[in-house]
Amino acid sequence: MSIASAARPKPTPRPSSAFLTVDLDREGKQTGFLMIPHSPHDDAWGATRVPIAVIKNGSGPTVIMEGGNHGDEYEGPITICDLIRDLDPGRVQGRLILMPANNVHAVMAGQRTSPVDGLNFNRTFPGDPRGTITQQISAFVSDHILPVGDAFLDLHSGGSSLDIIPSAIVEPTDDPALHKRNVAAVQAFDAPMMVVISNLGEPRTATAAACRAGLVTVGTEMAGAGTVSLEALRVCRRGVANVLDHLGVVAREKPEPKRGDGQILELPGISAYVYATVDGIFEPFHANGTKVSAGEPAGRIHCTWDPTRPPETLYYAADGILYGRRQPGRVKPGNCCLIVAAPYHGPL
């Protein structure tokens, strides 16, 4: 597959004090860090170290792989670390830039957002090279990493708050040719489900930034529930190998039969989400994968500290398949309790 980026204009990087301890252009395998100067109370001239590895061999596409965008999502980072340790550079035709823990402070804390500045890394792109630590990391990725790439794999899971059917994600783009390449790469991943997710048009995500930069982009949602799913980890490892083979960077040693049914779903806007309306404990009525209908009762919220108060019933607003459920039972108004995926009717 030809995904050469030579014709894409390279933006001028914004001034930054961040630096790499690896050479992106050197042949072979290197491991090191993106260093962000960081001056907290107990370390006047210290640095935040974001791990990065580069595996380069000969000519071919550059594939950037990100994990740890959220610190409580585990299958993707494990898969990337496997590649860093185990992949023979001689099998690579091109270059891999592997970043398993981009939101590094959140990864080390095992939480979604950074404990340093409270920010969600995936809502900071294109970042600010003079901003907080999280904004500086996303700025470096935007200015120095994405522009050298041809493809971008952003490996997410449901994290601590959601349990999601393992799936490969299509990031929407206004570029029809890029959309086709994105869909083809997501189909190559061959997850149990393929879902188009626009995040309600949110432009500050890593995958939205990658699409703006013209990269073939693949996202994932690998289970979640705050743990490591063995099945989702198998799906992730296999899917990454499939996409690297599809892009012509690392050929599979042994092709595997397709496992997905080829159906593409989408989150149909605001109707996809069922939100908590009151404070209490959420009781879902259905398991993930269940077919559901708009207007059907979806679950109810109990206020167990006031037994005289009847539970409040929530309802689906879309027809489709129950794609994800909230993991913690405790909810407050505005918490996302359920997500419905519906058949995709857009362009392929």
**What is the three-class DSSP state of 154?**
strand
pLDDT band at 255 (very low <50, low <70, confident <90, very high): confident
Look at residues 192, 265, 291, 271 and name the one whose alpha carbon lies nearest to residue 232: 192
Query: Average pLDDT, stretch 91-96?
Result: 98
- Please provide the CATH number assigned to the domain covering 19-265: 3.40.630.10
Residue 44: how many CA atoms within 13 Å on its side-chain side? 0
Q: At what angle do helices 75-86 and 230-246 cross, to 10 degrees?
A: 50
- pLDDT, one tens digit per residue, over 319-333 is 999 999 999 999 999
Find the mean pLDDT for residues 329-339.
98
User: Could you read off the pLDDT of 9-53 as tens digits, one per residue?
Assistant: 778 999 999 999 999 999 999 999 999 999 989 999 999 999 999
Weakest mean pLDDT among 69-78, 199-208, 251-260: 251-260
> What is the torsional sign of CA 225, 48, 218, 97?
negative
Q: Output the pLDDT for position 7.
A: 60
Q: Look at phi and psi of residue 71 and say left if phi exceeds 0, alpha if psi is from -120 to 50, else beta.
A: alpha
3-state secondary structure 257-317: CCCCCCCEEECCHHHHEEECCCCEEEEECCCCCCEECCCCEEEEEECCCCCCCCCEEEECC
Q: What are phi and psi of 343, to 5 degrees?
A: -55, 140
pLDDT band of 4, cuts 50, 70, 90: low
Percentage of the chain beyond pLDDT 90 is: 92
**What is the average pLDDT across 310-327?**
98
Domain assignments of the chain as residue spans, ordered by start: 19-265, 268-343
In the chain, % helix, strand, coil (3-state, to 5) comes to 25, 30, 45
Q: Which residues pair with 315 in a beta bridge?
A: 297
CB count within 10 Å of CB 312 equals 16
User: Measured between alpha carbons, how far is 47 from 33 in angstroms, rounded to an integer?
Assistant: 10
Note the pLDDT of residue 202: 95
Share of the chain above pLDDT 70, in %: 98
Distances (CA, A) of 52 to 19, 75, 135: 12, 17, 18
**Fold of the 268-343 domain:** OB fold (Dihydrolipoamide Acetyltransferase, E2P) (2.40.50)
Kindly report the number of other CB atoms within 10 A of residue 60's CB atom: 18
pLDDT over 80 (residue 173) = yes
Which of these ranges, 202-206, 233-237, 255-259, 326-330, has the smallest mean pLDDT? 255-259
